[in-house]
């Protein structure tokens, strides 16, 4: 009997086989939109020629354009002449950069720096420095796994430290009534923290409020931190960019170190060198002696290795070239001073305009605040009206990037704000 040949079964294509089944990612919920990204998207979609974007956290020149520093351009020219390789950096980065970054932050006369007791590593900008610091403290700080942040603080601080394994709590900082520093509330909260807690401090140009303690207030804060044996973790993302002086902006860090605090420090070169996309930063810790520094350094490498192996090369070379070349350093300082000065000028123009327009309220906080950002005191309905009717975009809490203002739009912005506050927009 002859066997009947049967056609071989053919496997269905994958897209057919799984067409009726649920994706393995079907239960992943949509995340909330980023508030800054939403501002930028709304701005881009707006076709009105008067539109202003005050949400972006990056410097813009007098014409509202991105600005590449001349010091950066010249540093890149020097680097190109050297025909450098593209080899991997060590885990803790480019030594020429980390040494220069630490000197910039702590000062050339820093005792810990000159006694080789500062452990420092290159990081993926300031965010990476905070993440390294959070992971290191979570693993090795023996007294607490809680970090206290000012209210408000940079939006990314909370997720960075939570993802590092730390519990996040808050202390009072901003006074909505005065649109200034709640210094008494700040001191009271520091005094009532559990001893040896970790406290995050914005070294200068507090983000998002632009409100900084005075040098005398920093001294009081240092005394309380010492009395309560708190661990100070400084975030310094704006050195030089806030006041125009790198020394002035480093006052808090240098004072704490001089007073004997073993600080942790995050540095970013995004704002003060305009190296936003190059991701240049540093994280450092003050240790007791060179032997302890070596042990801390070895553990920093172990924290970093599984995160990203080693940091980017090009931006670190640019920053190191500027910081180690006397001529370029001088040029960079002058450019940082110019950027800071332009923002300070915009603060004064905005204040004067609002006063001259008889805008209800006290607007002195605009000039008292410092750095890229300002908490204007505008309400959510007012910011919505400015977006809907005047094509001016900012975060709903009234925070603006002063760098988005210039001679071409400051008067229109001032007039629109005045109308919004008066209810006439």
Q: What positions carry a catalytic annotation? A: 154, 235, 271
Look at residues 164, 163, 224 and name the one whose alpha carbon lies nearest to residue 199: 224
Q: If DSSP states are collapsed to H, E and C, what string results for 270-294?
A: HHHHCCHHHCEEEEEEECCCHHHHH
* C-alpha to C-alpha distance for 406 and 400, rounded to whole angstroms: 13
| Cβ neighbours of 158 (radius 10 Å) | 15
- 3-class DSSP state for residue 268? strand
Please, what's the b/e burial string for 2-17 (b: 16 or more CB within 10 A of its CB; e: otherwise)? eeeeeeeeeeeeeeee
- By CB atoms closer than 10 A (0-12, 13-18, 19+), residue 356 is exposed
Inter-helix orientation angle 410-422/326-356, to 10°:
40
Q: Are 350 and 414 in contact (CB under 8 A)?
A: yes
Nearest 5°: CA angle at 208, between 412 and 160?
Answer: 140
Q: Round to whole Å and give the CA distance between 279 and 131.
A: 14
Residues 6+ away with beta carbon under 8 Å from 196:
143, 144, 228, 229, 230, 231
Beta strands at 231-236 and 264-268: parallel, antiparallel or unpaired: parallel
Q: Both tokens of residue 5? A: 């040949």
- Using CA of residue 346, residue 348, residue 354, residue 360, what is the dihedral sign? positive
CA distance 157 to 160: 5
Q: Which two tokens stand for residue 20?
A: 């009726």
Instruction: Give the end-to-end CA distance of the chain in Å, rounded to a whole number.
Output: 95
Report the C-alpha gap between 363 and 354 in whole angstroms.
7
Q: Which residues pair with 122 in a beta bridge?
A: 282
193 close to 161: Cβ distance less than 8 angstroms: no
Q: How far apart are CA 196 and CA 231, in angstroms?
A: 6
């Amino acid at each position: 009997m002859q066997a009947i040949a049967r056609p071989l079964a053919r496997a269905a294509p994958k897209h057919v086989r799984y067409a009726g089944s649920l994706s393995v990612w079907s239960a992943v919920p949509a995340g909330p939109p980023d508030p800054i990204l939403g501002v930028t998207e709304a701005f881009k979609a707006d076709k009105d020629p008067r539109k202003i974007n005050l949400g972006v956290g990056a410097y813009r020149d007098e014409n509202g354009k991105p600005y590449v520093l001349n010091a950066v351009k010249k540093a890149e020219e020097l680097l190109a002449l050297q025909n450098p390789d593209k080899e991997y950096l060590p885990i803790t980065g480019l030594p020429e950069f980390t040494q220069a970054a630490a000197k910039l932050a702590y000062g050339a006369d820093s005792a810990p720096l000159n006694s080789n007791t500062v452990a420092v590593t290159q990081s993926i900008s300031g965010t990476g420095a905070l993440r390294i610091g959070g992971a290191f403290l979570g693993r090795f700080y023996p007294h607490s796994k809680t970090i206290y942040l000012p209210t408000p603080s940079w939006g990314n601080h909370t997720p960075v430290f939570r993802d590092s394994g730390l519990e996040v709590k808050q202390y009072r900082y901003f006074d909505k009534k005065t649109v200034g520093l709640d210094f008494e509330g700040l001191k009271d909260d520091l005094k009532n923290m559990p001893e040896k807690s970790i406290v995050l401090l914005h070294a200068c140009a507090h983000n998002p409020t632009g409100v900084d303690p005075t040098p005398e207030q920093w001294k009081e804060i240092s005394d309380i931190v010492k009395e309560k044996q708190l661990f100070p973790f400084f975030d310094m993302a704006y050195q030089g960019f806030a006041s125009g002086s790198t020394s002035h902006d480093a006052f808090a860090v240098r004072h704490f170190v001089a007073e004997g605090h073993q600080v942790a420090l995050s540095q970013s070169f995004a704002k003060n060198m305009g190296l936003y996309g190059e991701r240049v930063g540093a994280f450092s810790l003050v240790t007791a002696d060179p032997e302890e520094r070596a042990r801390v350094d070895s553990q920093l490498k172990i924290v970093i290795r599984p995160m990203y192996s080693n940091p980017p090369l090009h931006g670190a070379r640019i920053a190191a070239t500027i910081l180690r070349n006397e001529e370029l350093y001088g040029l960079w300082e002058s450019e940082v001073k110019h950027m800071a000065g332009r923002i300070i000028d915009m603060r004064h123009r905005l204040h004067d305009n609002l006063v001259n327009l008889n805008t209800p309220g006290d607007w002195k906080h605009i000039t008292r605040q410092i750095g890229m950002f300002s908490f204007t005191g505008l309400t959510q309905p007012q910011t919505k009206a400015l977006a809907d009717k005047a094509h001016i975009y900012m975060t709903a809490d009234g925070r603006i990037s002063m760098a988005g203002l210039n001679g071409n739009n400051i008067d229109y912005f001032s007039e629109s704000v005045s109308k919004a506050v008066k209810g006439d927009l």
